[in-house]
Amino acid sequence: MKDSSAAPRCRIRCFEPEKVAGIRDRLAEEEAQIARFARVFEVLGNRTRLRILRALAREELCVCDVAQVLELSIAGASHQLRALHDRGWLHMRNDGKMVYYRLSPDALRQVLQEGRIFLEEGIAS
């Protein structure tokens, strides 16, 4: 009996070597951009970080309040905030012993726009 759940497979190693070589060359030229957006989407692919971005889009919060909102430890919240701040997506300010964060909407919009364009150019070509 034939297993119908198996994925279809080619029976030869490479059918169009010129096409494969051309695509490999184009991907090699785009590697820096691919790596950059992979890091961006990796950061955005984290549920906790997305929740932080949504929370800080509403208003500025201190680290301990972010931790409370998301039910994280202060160290855990701080770690996630640092990842977002290091990419320029959050503004940070110190007020005595308190550290406050707020969304940097222009920076986040810019990287999202660049990612959208990068993906659309790949789809369109």
Q: What is the pLDDT along the chain (125 residues), one digit of tens a residue?
A: 555 677 787 788 878 889 888 889 988 988 999 899 899 999 889 999 999 999 999 999 999 999 999 999 999 999 999 999 999 999 999 999 999 999 999 999 999 999 999 888 877 65
Indicate the number of domains in the chain: 1
Amino acid 54: pLDDT: 95
For residue 98, give the CATH number of its domain: 1.10.10.10
Rg for the chain, CA atoms, rounded: 21
Amino acid 12: pLDDT: 82
Which domain covers residue 115, as residue numbers? 17-124
This prediction has a pTM of 0.76
Amino acid 4: pLDDT: 61
Q: How far apart are CA 57 and CA 117, in angstroms?
A: 23
Q: Does the residue 3 lie in any domain?
A: no
Q: How far apart are CA 48 and CA 10, in angstroms?
A: 41
Amino acid 121: pLDDT: 85
Q: Does the residue 6 lie in any domain?
A: no
For 46, the 3-state DSSP assignment is: coil
Q: Does the residue 11 lie in any domain?
A: no
Q: Does the residue 1 lie in any domain?
A: no
Amino acid 3: pLDDT: 58
Q: Does the residue 95 lie in any domain?
A: yes
Q: Which two tokens stand for residue 112?
A: 């999202």
Amino acid 10: pLDDT: 77
Q: Does the residue 118 lie in any domain?
A: yes
Q: Does the residue 7 lie in any domain?
A: no
Task: Indicate the burial class of 55 (C-beta count within 10 angstroms; 0-12, 13-18, 19 or more).
Answer: middle
Q: Does the residue 68 lie in any domain?
A: yes
